[in-house]
A and B are shown apart, each in its own frame.
Chain A
């Protein structure tokens, strides 16, 4: 499995060219590079391991079939993220039941942005916790966000799509993406600060 998971540290144009020409090994290399991130994204959106497996498979099968349509204006990774998000949303729609909150649920835009925890963090959590502990903390925090906030946060701040790309993909307006992202960021900041703050440093909440 690839040790690199960033989309911007290597030039993958030659690899893509080979994959497009039918070189199966080149395509497999692209899959190995991105399967972990696509699986993580699908798990966060669907909140279901089996669905995430299906999404992972469908994403790369579709990517292979439609490789000729990928024109290279966006990064290959952004292109497969789009496929994976669409597949994940389809899963959600199919499985829509009472316990699932729809991604299109109406957001009360009048809701205040509350900031309760104002405290500096105690050192660097990345040094204080193991990768595994940190992963569990962060994944739990993301999964506790309401779906409309969670998906926008994942696409903008984890997968690094632009506001416009996120809006188009989720069929939202640009202001809606911005407002959801702000809430998501503040909520995550709040959750992490509760865990990572320096003890005795609490300041009265404001707003």
Chain B
């Protein structure tokens, strides 16, 4: 219309990471009817472990939780868990901790909670480094050793991590199922109170500290961290282009020292460093180029 100026409003665009997280969360929890009925999915896709920490007792879950499956597959007389460990290794080699940064629904929840405008806490580096070892301890003790050796009198394996820690189980499985089923609600006792408290603590901490569960407690993240160096999904820093502004380190949700070790075991490949960088950071090609063709880079 004459006399009127049309202002082009810049449409808010979702980052690649957020799109990937949303699509992944919708895919692994695609059984919408489950939420309506308050029942879990019982189809054959549940024979397949999803790469992310997603409770198989979530009414929407279409696949099995790899950590729950691993604990169930361990135990006296069950033999080596080839299938579950094979799948976990496959995800680890193909994606590494990109699973945490791009696919995990519980990572998405933590990312969204961190967006709530409250004062943010910076964990002192020495404490942060020490606490990061906790997740390896959780993996070794609660996911492997205890389910393997601390069985019930009847020889049944107990999934210790799921039972005493997993906040995803309480949030995605416990709460929706209990809301839909009064008989389950009646069974909730001290254990549920404990799990609810752990979940609340982690969710509350997520508002002040970026991804505290991924950093300090997640056994699946610890497992994938073992593959960080070998996975196909790598980041690349071109030292010649780096101006040393350290913006990348300030935006990193995992407090990685990007300029020192861009492919740290803590890097979840979210790409936030790449977004703020002047062009020195990029995702490395899946297959390395022949010598002489690639720019000098640190990997």
Chain B binds chain A: no
Interface residues of A (CB under 8 A from B): none
Interface residues of B (CB under 8 A from A): none
